[in-house]
A and B are shown apart, each in its own frame.
Chain A
Amino acid sequence: MRSRFFALLVANIILALFLTSPFWIWNFLDEESVTAVSRRTGNNALAAEYIYHGRDIDVLFIGSSQLRAGVNHESLREGYRAATGKDIDTLTIAHNWDGLDLVYFKLRDFLENNKTNLVVVESPNYDPEAGNYPHPDTKFFFRISDDPELFWELPKTVSLKLYAEQVLVAPRLLLGAIVGETGRDEMHKKVAADRGALLRSQGFGGQAFQPTDISAKCQLTVDDVLLSSSLPDEKLFGIPIQHWERQFLHAIDSLLKQNSTKVIFVRFPYKSFAGTGLVERNSEFPAYWDDYAFTNEQLFGDHNLELFYYDRVHLNTNGASRFGECMGGVLADMESKGIITFSAASDTAQKELLQ
C-alpha cells in the first residue's frame, strides 16, 4: 500500500515536471544545447555554432533551403570585390522550410552574440503548413523566459503548439546536456565548409549536370531588384501570411532596430517565377525594410533555366554562382549609394594583421 502511494506520488511529480518543462528547463540548459540534437534534425548544430561561437560579419543570410542552396559566397565576394576592390564577410544560416518564427529566434541569439551590418532574410516563397504551425525547429531556439510578452501575445493555438513541441523535445535536450554533442555527419561538414551554404552540382530533375558560366558580367543594381508598390496587409511579397507570422515580423523589426542592423528581404527565384506581383517598401516596419526580388530573366537572361536549377525551387551550383555574383554587385551598389557600409571583413583582416 505504502509503495503504491509513493509510486503514484513519483509518477505525478515526473509528469508535472515533464508538462511544465518549457518554464524551467532552460535554467538547466545552455542556449546552445541544440548542438546535441543535430543528427536527426538537419544542421541546427552548425547554426548554433555560428550563432553562439560566431564572429562579427558584414552580411548574414538567413532563411530556408532555397537560401542554403542559392548563395555561392565565393562568387558573391568576387562580385563585390570586382565593384569595390574590397573584401566582404558573409555567412548563411539556413533551415529546411520557411518560418519567420525561427528566423526571429535565430536572429535574436545571433545578434546577442555577434554583430552584422546587414541581415538578408529570404522571403517566404511558399508555406508548406499553410501557416498553421510554427517551424518544426523553433522548439530548439525558443525560450519563454527570454520573450515572455511575445509568447503570451501569440494566438493561443500557436503558443500551445510551440509549447507542446518543446515539451516533446525537452527530455532530448536534457539528455543532450548530459551526454554532449552526438557527433557530426558528412552533411554537416559539407555545409560548414562553405559558410553555411550547400551547393549542389546536380542537373535539373536528375539530369546530368552541365557546368555553365554566363560570360556576361552581372550588372544588376539595387534599383533593378528593389520592388516597389504597397504591401497588402495579409501578404509579404505576394505570399499570404498569418496574423501570428506578422507578429514575428514586428519582433524581427524591433530586434533589428535595437541593434541598429539593417535588413532586406530577398525573394529567391524559382523555376517558374516570372517576377510579377511586385511588392513593396513598407512603412509599417521602421527598420530598413526593403524587398528585393531576383527574377530568372535578370539572373540568367534567355539561357535554359534547367541549367541553373536542380529542382523546381532550388538553384544548383551554376545558379548559386550567378546569384552570388549578382548579389555581390547589388551589395556594392548599396554601399556606393550610401545605403550601408560594410567593414567587418576589413576589421577582421586588421585584427589578424595586428596579431
Chain B
Amino acid sequence: MTGERMRKILLATLWIQIGCAIVLFQFVGPKSLNPAAIYGQF
C-alpha cells in the first residue's frame, strides 16, 4: 500500500470518526451541556 493511499484511508477514518462524534453528541442532554445551570440551581 502506498503512503498516499494510506494517508487517504486515515483521512477518511478521521472524517468518519468526526461524523460519529457529531452524531453521538446529539444525544447529550441539555442539562449536561450546561452544568453551570445545575450548579446555579443548587
Contact = CB atoms under 8 A, between A and B. Distances in A.
Query: Is B a genuine binding partner of A?
Result: yes
Interface of A: 1-2, 4-5, 8-9, 11-12, 15-16, 18-19, 39-43, 65, 96-97, 129, 133-134, 136-137, 139, 157, 160-161, 163-165, 167-169, 187
The B interface is mostly helix, strand or loop, or mixed, namely helix
Contacts of B36: 40
Given A15-B17, A40-B35, A157-B27, 16 more contacts: A2-B3, A5-B3, A5-B7, A8-B14, A12-B13, A15-B14, A15-B21, A19-B20, A40-B39, A42-B42, A65-B42, A96-B42, A134-B29, A136-B35, A165-B29, A165-B32
A256 B28 CA distance: 30
B18 A15 contact: yes
A194 to B, nearest CB: 15
Contact of B14 (A5, A12, A97): A12
A42 B11 contact: no
B8 to A, nearest CB: 10
B13 A161 contact: no
Contacts of B17: 12, 15-16, 19
Interface string B21-32: 100111111111
| Number of chain B interface residues as a range | 20 to 34
A12 B10 contact: yes
B6 interface: yes
